[in-house]
Chain A
Amino acid sequence: MQEKKRSREDLLKAIERHEKNPGDRLTFLSDIGVISVGAVGAGAAAFAFGGTAATILFGLVTLPVAAPVTVVAGAAVLGGAAFLGVKRFFVDGTYQAGKREEMLRQLRDQLREVERKERQTSINEEDKTEFYSFLKKPLQLGLISVEDAQQTMEFVETGKMSISDAYKAIGEILSEAQGLPPS
């Protein structure tokens, strides 16, 4: 779900440039694809499934108008199940229970968002730079894929992943490669 694939060399060069010039954060973020991915929060949804996805998915709603026979047949089969679901939704009282559950879910979502923001602000730039340097070795040795390295950096940068979790996961890979027990 990333917008642009980087090569192993691209990422290693980006980390090295950042080590030499840690002040130029903007270039680094652009190099590892965080800025183009951009807009954390509200934009995250659009980023994950892309602008085209929305168009395609919205398009699906009106699809049966000109759909082939299989779609129409499928819709008819699924229509029965939908009616059953709606009936149960209103008749057996699951509506209220569902509402309560949804409120709880929203509360948990908000809590996670606050935790994410706390993670993002509590880690300083130096910690992040140190982590990116640490990531160089497994990346050079091919123990971690370019895609995973890029995503790890992006998630640490945006606070989606705590830096300690990231260290732990990468540390496990290194330990495993060296035949050591996980720390």
Chain B
Amino acid sequence: MASEKLSVAQANLKIALWNAEAEAFTSSHFYEWLQDMGLPEEVVTRLHELVSHTMKLGEKVIAIGKVVLVKIIAFVQAHPFLVVGAGVGAVVGAAIYSMVVSIPFLGQLLEPIARALGFGAVFTGAVVGHGLDKRFKDVGQNIVEIANEFFKLIADVLSAVSYQIVLA
């Protein structure tokens, strides 16, 4: 089932599964994982604040913050060599920007984390890579491309149901 062919009902099932998975983890689980990643305390605190963010999808409450955190942690886990080469800050930064660009309503949730990572205001499109390149020489655009591919499914799923979403 290719992600571009996702129907609304299929997207709803995906979100229900991601939500069930994310809700099984406690706030402390997330805090420990974020600490273990070796990120600065300010970034850990900002990322951990996502845990309490929810959204309404139709009649259901979805722990969107936890879902996003699971995806970020999975992205870091899936790319150990990228982390070694570019640093965990760059990898998390690329994840954040990729989601902000492809899922605009997440911008208000993720903007404080982008600022904590030292990227300032939210950029769009290719400027993201340029912004990362300024911080982490010559790797920005490549990491953003990898991140875009990784977060394509969540972007497709959320855009399929975006008309039903209300951020809490």
Which residues of A line the B interface, CB within 8 A? 1, 44-45, 48-50, 53-54, 56-58, 60-61, 63, 67-68, 70-71, 73-75, 77-82, 84-86, 89, 98, 101-102, 105-106, 108-109, 112-113, 116, 142-145, 148, 151-152, 155, 160-161, 165-166, 169-170, 172-173, 175-176, 182
Contacts and interface: CB of A to CB of B under 8 A. Distances in A.
B91 to A, nearest CB: 10
A136 to B, nearest CB: 16
A105 B52 CA distance: 8
Contacts of A74: 86-87, 89-90, 135-136
B86 A112 contact: no
Interface string B34-45: 001111111101
B88 interface: yes
> Lowest 5 A-B CB distances belong to which pairs?
A85-B42, A82-B40, A74-B87, A109-B26, A105-B27
Contact of B9 (A50, A84, A113, A173): A173
B118 A81 contact: yes
Given A48-B70, A80-B118, A169-B9, A106 B26 contact: yes
A57 B90 contact: no
Given A70-B85, A176-B8, A169 B16 contact: yes
Contacts of B139: 70
A132 to B, nearest CB: 16
A105 B51 contact: yes
A48 B118 contact: no
Contact of B27 (A50, A77, A106, A160): A106
A112 B21 CA distance: 12
Interface stretch (B75-83, B95-103, B123-131): B75-83
Contacts of A82: 40-43
For this complex, into which size category does the number of interface residues on chain B fall? Answer: 35 or more
Contact of A70 (B29, B80, B136): B136
Contacts of B9: 169, 172-173, 175-176, 182
A70 B14 contact: no
Residue in A71, A73, A74, A155 whose Cβ sees the most chain B Cβ within 10 Å: A74
Interface of B: 1, 7-10, 12-14, 16-17, 20-21, 23-29, 33, 36-43, 45-46, 51-52, 70, 73-74, 76-77, 80, 83-90, 116-118, 135-137, 139
Nearest to A113: B26
Given A45-B25, A161-B20, 14 more contacts: A1-B74, A57-B33, A57-B36, A67-B84, A68-B85, A73-B136, A77-B135, A78-B118, A85-B45, A106-B26, A144-B10, A148-B10, A152-B13, A155-B20
B79 to A, nearest CB: 10
Given A101-B52, A170-B13, A85 B116 contact: yes
Given A74-B89, A75-B89, A169-B13, A86 B7 contact: no
Given A49-B74, A155-B20, A172-B12, A56 B80 contact: yes
